[in-house]
Amino acid sequence: MVMLEPQIRPTGRQYDLQRVDQSTWIIRDAHVPTTDARSVVACISEAPLEGVDVLWLHPLGLPTRYGTADAVLRDLIRHGRRSTGTTRPIPIPHRPPMKPERR
């Protein structure tokens, strides 16, 4: 089991790339406490031939194969995903119940 270093203070960035071992990284949302499992956005591992494979833990619609771990982070920042800890609920419009049609 690999223990990650706790995040001591905010870095000013939205996402942090954290190395877990020689071939694995995780991307954390810096706006969510590291003790909250929702802070982990993706797990990145070196691919057997070249590049890296990405397991997105939140549905983002981004590729699962990149050249480097840094390229994954850059694409995520460009994509502009909102922080998981600060998203607001999606409002559902209220409409009156439909009346049955008269025949």
pLDDT value at residue 8: 43
- Rounded CA-CA distance 51/23 in Å is 11
Q: Is residue 70 part of a domain?
A: yes
Q: What is the pTM of this model?
A: 0.64
Q: Is residue 94 part of a domain?
A: no
Q: Is residue 101 part of a domain?
A: no
Instruction: Summarize the confidence of residues 72-83 as an average pLDDT.
Output: 76
Q: Are 52 and 45 in contact (CB under 8 A)?
A: yes
Q: Is residue 85 part of a domain?
A: no
Amino acid sitting at position 4: L
Number of domains in the chain: 1
Tokens of 11: 């870095």
pLDDT value at residue 85: 45
> pLDDT tens digit string along 4-62?
544 444 456 788 889 999 899 999 998 888 888 888 999 999 987 889 999 999 888 89
Q: Is residue 91 part of a domain?
A: no
- Residues spanned by the domain of 51: 15-79
pLDDT: which is higher, 96 or 53: 53
